[in-house]
Amino acid sequence: MEANPDVEIAVPVGALGDDDGEFIYQEYPEVELAAVVCFSGPYDGGYDAASETLARWMEEQGYAFAGPLRGHVIVSAYEDDNPENWLTELQAPVAKNQK
């Protein structure tokens, strides 16, 4: 595991605004091709297990990361108090390995 990963939290907004201290408005680039995996349950351990599954599948299928891993929370604690019902999608921009 990386010692000091660069982590960003993104929240969709209707329009870009003015940056305010550590809060930065930015538009993320479109991803041409991505490998995706969903997992349900608590975030602790879920992200790691899903990331490992996704990376293993990518390697087996001949894909490599082509950008940072993205997480998209579909059902969170705001929608459901039960962590077992939380749903998260991990998205990995990918490119086919050249042979």
Hunting for tokens 């940072």 — which residue is that?
A: 68
Q: Rounded to whole angstroms, how far apart are CA atoms 99 and 88? A: 33
**Tokens, residue 73:** 């929370």
Cβ neighbours of residue 15 under 8 Å, at least 6 residues apart?
A: none
| Number of alpha carbons in the 13 Å side-chain half-sphere of residue 72 | 9
Asked if pLDDT for residue 95 goes beyond 90, the answer is: yes
Give the chain's length: 99
Residue spans per domain, the chain? 34-80+88-93
Residue range 22-76, pLDDT digits in tens: 888 988 888 899 999 999 998 888 888 999 999 999 999 999 999 988 888 999 8
**Is the distance from CB of 34 to CB of 92 less than 8 angstroms?**
yes
Which ranges in the chain belong to alpha helices (H)? 46-61
Range with the poorest average pLDDT among 6-15, 55-64, 77-86: 6-15
Asked if pLDDT for residue 8 goes beyond 70, the answer is: yes
What is the three-class DSSP state of 55?
A: helix
pLDDT band, residue 99 (cuts 50/70/90): low
